[in-house]
Structure 1
Amino acid sequence: MRRLPVFFVIDCSESMVGKPIEAVQDGIDFIMSNLRTDPYALETVYISLIAYAGIVRTLVPLTELFAYRDCELPLGGGTHLGKALDHLGKEIDRSVMKTTAEVKGDWKPIVYLFSDGRPTDDYEDAIQRFKAKYDNKVTVIALGLGQDVDFSILKKLTEHCIALDQMDQDYIKGLCKWISASVVSQSISVGQNLDKQDLLPLDERYMHLAKQKLTFRKSQADDRTVTFVGRCQKLHHPYILKYSRNLHYSGLSDLNINVYNFKLDTCEAISEDYFSWTDQTAEKPKINTSVLEGWSNCPHCHAETAFAMCACGNLMCYDGYSELVICPWCQRQISFESSGGDFDLSRGQG
């Protein structure tokens, strides 16, 4: 039986923290459980799951659908799309069976690539390499999650670019219903010895073909999201603060004067795995606290603030009254004083 390989390549960058990554996790689980109810899919579909952040790893190698086991999506700093494409190419070469004189190989693989922003690595050469080798051998469908996706980049990779304007549970589930229906449709086609991979009609309530070509300034960090990693002073467990770009002031329309800052979106506990998924060699840009709005309690011990900085430059939580505390990063004994001044702080890549 010829197989239908389906690759899910998931953006697990730190800008996905909170509800976005939870919604995608639920969506992937929904796709798998839904596909298992279809006899055509069970007979032909093989699934692989690849996650990319500051590094890229295969979470599930190409596996028969019934044998697929749910796995937890990670979180890390950076959005290395270029490395993800190189890694995907190696996985395709390694696991997809080619047609020979003796045997017919697998059906044309389908790739669903999820992204919520733009790459933070050198992606141009990787896109060219992937296109040169796999353009007619693989169907790539790029799924842009939210309003900050740079489709000018994704359109260099594939003509199939689908936009989701929101990233809540309903929108992600609507997208994943469409994906599962698409995979079932394709499995039926290959079951009838047809190699047809046209896109199914989109549910316009949740998604649409991306026509706009927004271009963002190229940098080593996300322009629309600012993230910081701290540690609980009492328990030493890590957490992440995510700030999203916010229109702070809008002047007269004819002057076109807009002032933006970054407003606190969420503060979430994270696991130590975050550091293994983060590119530790990447440049750590700085941002001034004057453009940040909002604060949070520590998600671990519920201390008064999760935004206290040690002299070592790292964030920790602080209960607001202890005279001396131990920094969970550098282990030095320190004391805090309230300061009304702004300061520069290293941020994540997003």
Structure 2
Amino acid sequence: MTSPGRATILPIYVVCDLSGSMRVDGRADAVRDALVALRDAVWLNPVVSDQARIGVVGFAGTATVLLPLCDLATVGELPDLEPGGLTSYGAAFRLLRETVRADTARLAADGYRVFRPLVFFVSDGEPTDRRPDWAAEHARLVGRDGPEIVAFAVGEARAATLAAVATSRCFVARTDVAVRDAIARIGDVVIRSVVASSVTGGQTVVGPAPGAFDELDLL
């Protein structure tokens, strides 16, 4: 389906919980600060613009594409993050599946060789939809050719729940660290991973657990 001479693209999605609890202690502001830092890091590393496209999805009771997949270095103003509502994991997985499928088809039609997408999924609480419902949407998302998911549990999110979301790595914030500070550390690992993956030509590279987090063994 692809030719060795074709340019390669790694699609990367940051999927962030924007439920009502993200209003607490400036959690949503910390996510936006992390996105700004990611944009600035991409601008400083031209190889990322060549190899990666980055999109942002937010979810509460419903899910929304806040920033369509793009060369993040070209984005002047990042979207506002307005938390409120429930925490529907199913809505996030359903929209992400549709979005990944459409983006992959568009990139392939534009002549790119597309690597398996990489998702950074961040939640500060438990899903409010029924587990069988969101688990079914998750299974559809991660099926054949689905994205690789790195999950981060902060705040009231349970380690076991995020471990069920992750397909690659799962990091859990330590309880002695403020949630806002933990989210800032997530920004650090996303930046390092995006840059490292781009340098290797699209092969996903996610480093060790960021400070203030422990890694769960998914095996």
User: CA–CA distance in 2 between the matches of 1:14 and 1:117?
Assistant: 10
Aligned residues of 2:13 and 2:57 also touching (Cα < 8 A) = yes
Q: Which residue of 2 aligns with 1:176?
A: 187
1:89 maps to a residue whose letter is: R
1:64 aligns with 2:71: yes
Q: Which residue of 1 aligns with 2:86?
A: 78
Aligned residues of 1:23 and 1:168 also touching (Cα < 8 A) = no
RMSD: 2.5
Aligned residues of 2:182 and 2:212 also touching (Cα < 8 A) = yes
Q: Which residue of 1 aligns with 2:17?
A: 11
2:42 to 35, 40, 43: 35
1:173 maps to a residue whose letter is: A
Q: Which residue of 2 aligns with 1:139?
A: 148
Q: How many angstroms does 1:96 deviate by?
A: 1.4
1:210 to 191, 211, 216: 216
Mark the CA change 1:31 to 1:167 in structure 2 (over 3 Å): closer, same or farther.
Answer: farther
How far does the alpha carbon of each residue in 1:228-281 deviate from its partner, in whole angstroms, 9 at most, with x for none?
xxxxxxxxxxxxxxxxxxxxxxxxxxxxxxxxxxxxxxxxxxxxxxxxxxxxxx
| Unaligned stretches of 5+ residues in structure 2 | 1-6
How far does the alpha carbon of each residue in 1:16-68 deviate from its partner, in whole angstroms, 9 at most, with x for none?
11321121221121112112211211212211111111121111111122233
Q: Which residue of 2 aligns with 1:90?
A: 98
1:164 aligns with 2:173: yes
Give the structure, 1 or 2, with the largest relative contact order (CA under 8 Å, sep 6 or more). Answer: 2
Q: Which residue of 1 aligns with 2:130?
A: 122
1:196 aligns with 2:166: no
Classify the secondary structure of the residue corresponding to 1:153: helix
Mark the CA change 1:31 to 1:181 in structure 2 (over 3 Å): closer, same or farther.
Answer: same
Aligned residues of 1:51 and 1:74 also touching (Cα < 8 A) = no
User: CA–CA distance in 2 between the matches of 1:99 and 1:8?
Assistant: 18
1:44 aligns with 2:55: no
1:80 maps to a residue whose letter is: S
Q: Which residue of 1 aligns with 2:4?
A: none
User: CA–CA distance in 2 between the matches of 1:78 and 1:169?
Assistant: 20
How far does the alpha carbon of each residue in 1:172-191 deviate from its partner, in whole angstroms, 9 at most, with x for none?
3222111100111101111x
Q: How many angstroms does 1:15 deviate by?
A: 0.8
Q: How many angstroms does 1:128 deviate by?
A: 3.2
Mark the CA change 1:99 to 1:6 in structure 2 (over 3 Å): closer, same or farther.
Answer: closer
Q: 1 or 2, which has the higher strand percentage?
A: 1
Identity of matched residues, %? 22
Q: 1 or 2, which has the higher helix percentage?
A: 2
Q: How many angstroms does 1:151 deviate by?
A: 2.5
| Unaligned stretches of 5+ residues in structure 1 | 213-350
| Number of residue pairs matched by the alignment | 206
Mark the CA change 1:134 to 1:99 in structure 2 (over 3 Å): closer, same or farther.
Answer: farther
Moved more, 169-178 or 71-80: 169-178
Q: Which residue of 2 aligns with 1:306?
A: none
Q: How many angstroms does 1:97 deviate by?
A: 3.3
